[in-house]
Structure formats: structure tokens, C-alpha cells
């Protein structure tokens, strides 16, 4: 965790909370999604939808609202977790919507899912 990129100390602390809570389910898919959902702008809205039983993205999007860039991050988290795709969430859409910091979040999440990938 020491070489991971976090947007803030709060992001890192939120990720640790997910790790403690989901330890028994802590696969690479959980790591990647938890890392994104631990983002301080997402954590409070997302944590009850991301449990040891999975990621209920449908309920999350039904009950919570996000800006366009954070909507893209949540869609990416769900895609990395489940493999399901969303309309308007291509790699190009992500790059066109996310700022530099959140592009780094995207790269770090991909690296958690695929550790041999060298993050930019």
C-alpha cells in the first residue's frame, strides 16, 4: 500500500476501512473496486452498496447522484469488479471525462486488478 497512489490521506484511510471490512472476500476484483470507491468523493455514498456479497451498482445509481466524472469512476469500479460494461463508459469516455488525478486513480485500479501492469 505504501507505493500506491492516493488522492489524499482520507482516500488511503477509506481503502483501509474497506480492506478490514471485506478481508474475507479480498480478491483482486475487490481491491480494484474498493480502491476507486474509497475516493473521498465517493466513499460515503458507495460503502453500503459494496459489501462481502458484492457490488450493487444498480441500487447505488438508483439512490445516489454523482457528477459526470465520479459517475464514470463508479462505472469503472463496477466494470473492474464484475466485468459488466456500461454505455458511455469506454476508455476514451474515461479519458475525456476524468481529470489528471482521477486518471491516476484509474491507472492504479487497473494495476490492482492486473499487478503486472506498470502504472503510468
Which tens digits make up the pLDDT trace of 11-38? 999 999 999 999 888 899 999 999 999 9
Domain that holds residue 58: 9-113
Q: Is the CB of residue 57 less than 8 Å from the CB of residue 74?
A: yes
Please state the φ and ψ torsions of residue 75, each to the nearest 5 degrees: -60, -40
Task: Express as a percent the part of the chain with pLDDT over 90.
Answer: 79
- Residue 77 falls within a domain, yes or no? yes
Angle between helices 28-37 and 9-21 (to 10 degrees): 140
- Residue 29 falls within a domain, yes or no? yes
pLDDT of 56 above 80? yes
- Residue 4 falls within a domain, yes or no? no
Cα–Cα distance, 11 to 9 (Å, whole number) = 5
- At 24 the pLDDT is 83
pTM: 0.92
- At 3 the pLDDT is 87
- Residue 89 falls within a domain, yes or no? yes
- Residue 99 falls within a domain, yes or no? yes
- Residue 119 falls within a domain, yes or no? no
- Residue 107 falls within a domain, yes or no? yes
- Residue 1 falls within a domain, yes or no? no
Number of structural domains (the chain) is 1
- At 25 the pLDDT is 83
Amino acid at each position: 500500500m505504501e507505493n500506491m497512489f492516493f488522492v489524499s490521506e482520507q482516500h488511503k484511510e477509506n481503502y483501509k476501512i474497506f480492506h478490514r471490512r471485506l478481508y474475507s472476500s479480498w480478491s483482486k476484483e475487490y481491491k480494484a473496486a474498493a480502491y476507486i470507491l474509497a475516493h473521498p468523493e465517493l466513499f460515503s455514498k458507495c460503502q453500503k452498496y459494496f459489501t462481502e456479497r458484492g457490488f450493487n451498482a444498480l441500487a447505488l445509481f438508483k439512490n445516489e447522484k454523482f457528477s459526470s466524472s465520479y459517475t464514470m469512476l463508479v462505472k469503472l469500479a463496477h466494470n473492474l469488479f464484475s466485468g459488466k460494461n456500461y454505455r458511455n463508459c469506454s476508455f476514451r469516455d474515461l479519458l475525456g471525462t476524468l481529470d489528471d488525478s482521477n486518471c491516476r486513480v484509474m491507472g492504479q485500479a487497473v494495476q490492482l486488478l492486473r499487478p503486472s501492469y506498470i502504472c503510468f
